[in-house]
Amino acid sequence: MALALEEAARGLGRTAPNPPVGCVLVRGGAVVGRGFHPAAGEPHAEVFALREAGEQARGAAAYVTLEPCSHLGRTPPCVAALIAAGVSRVVVAALDPNPRVAGRGVGRLRAAGTEVVVGVREAEAVRQQAGFRALITRGRPWVVYKYAVTLDGKVAARGEGNGAVTAAGARARVMRWRNELDAVAVGVGTVLADDPRLTTRGVAGGRDPRPVIFDRRARTPLSARALRPGTVVVTAPDTDTAPLEDAGATIVRAATLPGALRGLGQLHLSSLLLEGGPTLASAFFAEGLVDEVRALIAPKLLGAGLAPLNGPPRGMADAAALRAVQLESLGPDVLVTGLLNDIPRLGAAGDL
């Protein structure tokens, strides 16, 4: 399953509205096939693994990161392909979160006499599928709030990205996240101050996330480096956006942040890397729309500067505590990750 999760990761940022899925076929202790879902409209992971295995799939065990599909979509159901190939055992990391689908794939496999195990490395799989799960159950992207601070909790006031705060390892990690998430968002304040490109740089085989600029009054300069064909600009409902549209921007009109996120969901953006600045991030945080936090902390003291979040004071007892916290050293810097909202598992449609 670890190999299957690695396979699935190759599809991150490329499969929406479909999930990233990986599949590994094992027979007699050897891997005989592997595959991942590369993009919506392309074959599913199981199909690639079965193709590679050929006749060796007969009697093999399949390790799949998400319950195989049992319904006819753009491609024939994988459950039928697994049964036809003679796979004798299917190990599933996590059930499909779609309440109309959940359990059916497993049920059909069992009805055909295939042994099925569910729940192997489930937490990692669910985490990897957070975007897909948020999109299908909530109709909005999974929001990952990323920021870099000094040890005294200050973000640099200026400077592209966080180059000034953290070292090369942290910067490379941010580029990997941009490669893996569907979209990257900033407020117009950051566009005006830093003119970021919001591209993926230095990642082999990398691709750029879709830039999203939160800009209620359409103040984004037409010369902004993040403004390219397909860039999403989120504005207030009645803002004149003709010049931005002429520049190729996709406009999402919304009166509220939850409405804006639903608009991004309709564009099939399943995950959003929220890169700031403080005003926009604080608005997301205040509305409970930050699902996951990735904080990069540099062992430096600045003494003055912007805090990553601001808002009305609250007592420590009311602080939002992260769950599933993980720590990692990145050269001199420390990465702290954790969840503020639960990743949807089964059901619970439309909670926004």
Residues that bind ligand NAP (CB under 6 A): 147-148, 155-158, 162, 165, 186-190, 193-194, 214-217, 219, 257, 275-280, 283, 306
CA distance 247 to 222: 7
**78 vs 155, which CB is nearer to ligand NAP?**
155
Q: Nearest approach, Cβ of 239 to ligand NAP (angstroms)?
A: 9
Instruction: Say whether residue 154 binds Zn ion (CB under 5 A).
Output: no
CB neighbours of residue 337 within 10 Å? 18
Residue 148 among known ligand-binding residues:
yes
CA distance 143 to 231: 18
CA distance 299 to 225: 31
Strands of the sheet containing 61-66, edge to edge, are 30-36, 22-27, 61-66, 89-94, 115-118
**332 vs 347, which CB is nearer to ligand NAP?**
332
Q: Nearest approach, Cβ of 69 to Zn ion (angstroms)?
A: 3
Of 16, 60, 69, 148, which lies in the binding site for Zn ion, with binding defined by CB under 5 A? Answer: 69
CA distance 275 to 249: 19
Residue 69 among known ligand-binding residues:
yes
Q: Are 327 and 315 in contact (CB under 8 A)?
A: no
Q: Are strands 30-36 and 22-27 parallel, antiparallel or unpaired?
A: antiparallel
Instruction: Say whether residue 173 binds Zn ion (CB under 5 A).
Output: no
Tell me how far CA of residue 127 lies from CA of 107, 167, 338, 351, in angstroms: 24, 27, 11, 19
Q: Which does 78 bind (CB under 5 to 8 A by kind): ligand NAP, Zn ion, none?
A: Zn ion
Gyration radius of the chain over CA positions: 22
Q: Which does 139 bind (CB under 5 to 8 A by kind): Zn ion, ligand NAP, none?
A: none
* From 7, 42, 46, 52, active-site residue: 46
- CA 228, 232, 235, 241 dihedral sign is positive
Q: Which window, 10-18, 66-74, 103-111, 164-172, contacts Zn ion (CB under 5 A)? A: 66-74
Amino acid at the residue 100: R
CA distance 280 to 293: 15
Residue 46 is a catalytic residue = yes
Place of tokens 């608005």: 283
Q: Nearest approach, Cβ of 137 to ligand NAP (angstroms)?
A: 23
What are the structure tokens assigned to 216, written together? Answer: 């209620």
Instruction: Say whether residue 294 binds Zn ion (CB under 5 A).
Output: no
**20 vs 277, which CB is nearer to ligand NAP?**
277
Q: Nearest approach, Cβ of 169 to ligand NAP (angstroms)?
A: 16
**134 vs 165, which CB is nearer to ligand NAP?**
165
Q: Nearest approach, Cβ of 281 to ligand NAP (angstroms)?
A: 6
Which residues, 6+ apart, have CB-to-CB distance to 4 below 8 Å?
A: 22, 23, 24, 34, 45, 63, 64, 65, 93
**219 vs 253, which CB is nearer to ligand NAP?**
219
Residue 190 among known ligand-binding residues:
yes
Q: Which does 280 bind (CB under 5 to 8 A by kind): ligand NAP, Zn ion, none?
A: ligand NAP
Q: Nearest approach, Cβ of 268 to Zn ion (angstroms)?
A: 18
Binding-site residues for Zn(2+), please?
44, 69, 78
> Residues with catalytic annotation?
46
Q: Which residues bind Zn ion (CB under 5 A)?
A: 44, 69, 78
Binding-site residues for NADP(+), please?
148, 190, 194, 277-283
Binding-site residues for substrate, please?
178, 198, 201, 275
